[in-house]
Amino acid sequence: MRETFEPKKPKKQTTIYLIGFMASGKSTIGRLLARRLEVPWIDLDSMIAKREGATISEIFSERGEQYFRKAEAAELQNIQAAAVHRGAVVSTGGGAPCSTENLSLMKQTGIVIYLKVRARELLRRIGEGSSRPVFMKMKQHGNKQARAKKLLKSREPFYNQAHITLRNSRNRDPEEVVEYIAQKVAAGWTQPPYP
């Protein structure tokens, strides 16, 4: 019998959670990856904003970070339940996996991929943007950099528990990262437990 070498199509029911610090490329990679895997792309922050009828900045400034974190945890539960049969790529916010409950939920229901970017590169990207809600009260650039550094350090222990860590440095082509993940999914990253 002749063998055919058709590339394997990724299984559709896989849910992939992208985690990582602000500005690590979770949305860019998420959107492209969902298209590549032919599954819905879900952006956790957009879902929260839609449900709350307010932007993330408004939620932070008018209702506070604690309120936001509760909404974030609840939305993650909803998304997980909706994605369980058909799969999805979920781009999370930088703080979403930094709670034991959220992280275990993601790890039990999908593949968790940490998009890791060097601290210096992240700080540069964050420094450029003006209005990240977690830095809202900080006017000076130096202040923001110090807070970002501290935040990153406190979050790394959570990020490092992802099933897979992928370096997403400045000159890495997003399509290349997407293709890498897609091939791995096709090769069997489909069901827990993961390596």
Contacting positions for ligand S3P (CB under 6 A): 22, 26, 45, 56, 93-95, 133-134
CB-wise, 87 or 133, nearer to ligand S3P?
Answer: 133
Q: Which residue's C-beta sits nearest to ligand S3P? A: 93
**Measured from the CB of residue 179, what is the shortest distance to ligand S3P in angstroms?**
23
Question: What does DSSP say about strands 164-167 and 88-91: parallel, antiparallel, or unpaired?
Answer: unpaired
Gap between the terminal Cα atoms of the chain: 34
**Measured from the CB of residue 145, what is the shortest distance to ligand S3P in angstroms?**
15
Question: What does DSSP say about strands 41-43 and 164-167: parallel, antiparallel, or unpaired?
Answer: unpaired
Q: Which helix H or strand E contains 165, and what residues bound it?
A: strand 164-167
CB-wise, 89 or 189, nearer to ligand S3P?
Answer: 89
**Measured from the CB of residue 127, what is the shortest distance to ligand S3P in angstroms?**
14
CB-wise, 162 or 189, nearer to ligand S3P?
Answer: 162
CB-wise, 115 or 189, nearer to ligand S3P?
Answer: 115
C-alpha to C-alpha distance for 177 and 119, rounded to whole angstroms: 19
Contact (Cβ atoms closer than 8 angstroms) between residue 91 and residue 42: yes
**For 19, which DSSP code?**
E
**Measured from the CB of residue 96, what is the shortest distance to ligand S3P in angstroms?**
7
Six-digit token pair at 155? 């979050």
